[in-house]
Chains A and B, each alone.
Chain A
Amino acid sequence: MTPLRLLAIVPAYNEAGSVGRVIEEIRAAQPGFEILVVDDGSRDGTAAVARAHGAHVVSLPFNLGIGGAVQTGYRYAHAHGFELAVQVDADGQHDPAELGALVRPVLAGQADFAVGSRFAGGGSYRAPLGRRLGIRLFAGTISRITRQRVTDTTSGFRAANRRAIELFAEDYPHDYPEVETTVMVVKERLRLVEVPVTMRERTAGRSSITAARSAYYVAKVMVALFVGLFRAPRLERA
């Protein structure tokens, strides 16, 4: 039997300061993974750093935003026949040492999609008040929609099997995709599981979500969630 093909997708926008360490940590923790850095139109040499650390690099010609960058990774995974893909942020807030725990339910066939959650027990992540309220709002809404307890809808630490990869290669939300993908996955009858993880303080760069964009973020996601309920599913039923 040939070994499973595993891909770590690392979306990076101006993360030259931290992407190298993230690549090394992934390789140290999980040598079986190929690493793809999707450089989302960075201007600080992120792609060169990633290449120097031996990762595959896809450079987008201009900034597409996190959704477009991550979907590029899933399209790559789909086109190259990877059986499992994980998303790891390039800013160092996800600990590759926890990749094993994250992929376990997916590899064991218990779930199609696993999300590393900061709030599902374990960890002591403390977000600022505004962010905490937003996360609470989304988590509550999503739990109600999916009829499943979801605690962390904004986590970008995720693992997808073949079917989830296929779905995301086909259709992935723009701008701020994490919340919507959670609903998409459940709507497509894929099995979603949350895995408790600890996240670190970011080592470089800043969150893409500034105060000024928060209102837009919340409004956009709520509209997308509401309208998304009335959309036809994309994947054929297994």
Chain B
Amino acid sequence: MTPFRVSVVAALVSFALLLVVLELIRSRRLRERYALLWLLTAVVLLVLSLWRGGLDTLAGLAGIAYAPSALFAVAGVFGVAVLLHYSTVISRLSDENAILAQRLALLEAEHAAAAVTAEPGSRHVLQAVDAEGDDPGARTATVQDLGAVRRDVQRAHRAAGGQLDLD
């Protein structure tokens, strides 16, 4: 049988965990999506702390001689589950972070090209592209952006009433 004092302490600790998780959700520091596993952990530990017969049965089934150890084992299993869950979450976040960085870089390149064409006269654009082309590191990006720059130049020329064929 689990010592009474162990049950009381375990129940208090799991109840505190439950309150902390709920407060974190309330204050928007923890999203429900990531809180569910924590809530389940807290509730299961609370139930097993209070329901002493259940804990003894569980310990007996698992061949654990000292019942409070079963409580540790359950807490350990949930701890591993939470960690594994977070590993998948971190993996997804880092993938999405890479996508965001790439999108931002491409947008900045487009934005810069558009800003250059906004200057009057198209020679600026071509010079700017040439100048950028001298830097080997920037060459790839420049080649990719050239199509967009060319379209912008043609649009600017058409708007000015002229015709320009860069091809």
Q: Which residues of A contact B22 (CB under 8 A)?
A: 227
Contact residues in B for A61 (Cβ distance below 8 Å): 96, 99-100, 103
Size of the chain A interface, CB-CB below 8 angstroms: 12
Q: Is the interface of B mostly helix, strand, loop or mixed?
A: helix
Which of the 9-residue segments B26-34, B119-127, B129-137 touches chain A? B26-34
Number of B interface residues in the complex (CB < 8 A): 15
Cα of A230 to Cα of B77 in the assembled complex, Å: 31
A window 210-232: CB within 8 A of B: 216, 219-220, 223-224, 227, 230-231
CB distance from A41 to the nearest CB of B (A): 9
The CA-CA distance from A175 to B31 in the complex, in Å, is: 10
Please tell me if the beta carbons of B103 and A223 are within 8 angstroms of each other in the complex.
no
- Inter-chain contact A223/B100, CB cutoff 8 Å: no
Q: Please, how many angstroms separate the alpha-carbon atoms of A90 and B36 in the complex?
A: 30
Interchain nearest-CB distance for B118 vs A (Å): 23
Given the known inter-chain contacts A216-B36, A223-B36, please indicate yes or no for A231 contacting B26, CB distance below 8 A: yes
Of all chain B residues, which has the CB nearest A59?
B103
- CB of B35 closer than 8 Å to a CB of A: yes
B80-123 vs A, CB cutoff 8 Å, 1 = contact: the mask equals: 00000000000000011001100100000000000000000000
Q: B13 at the A/B interface (Cβ < 8 Å)?
A: no
3 tightest Cβ-Cβ pairs between the two chains A and B: A227-B25, A61-B103, A224-B32
Q: A223-B25, A227-B32, A231-B26 are in contact. List 12 more A-B contacts (CB 8 A).
A: A61-B96, A61-B99, A61-B100, A174-B32, A216-B36, A219-B36, A220-B32, A224-B25, A224-B32, A227-B22, A227-B25, A227-B26
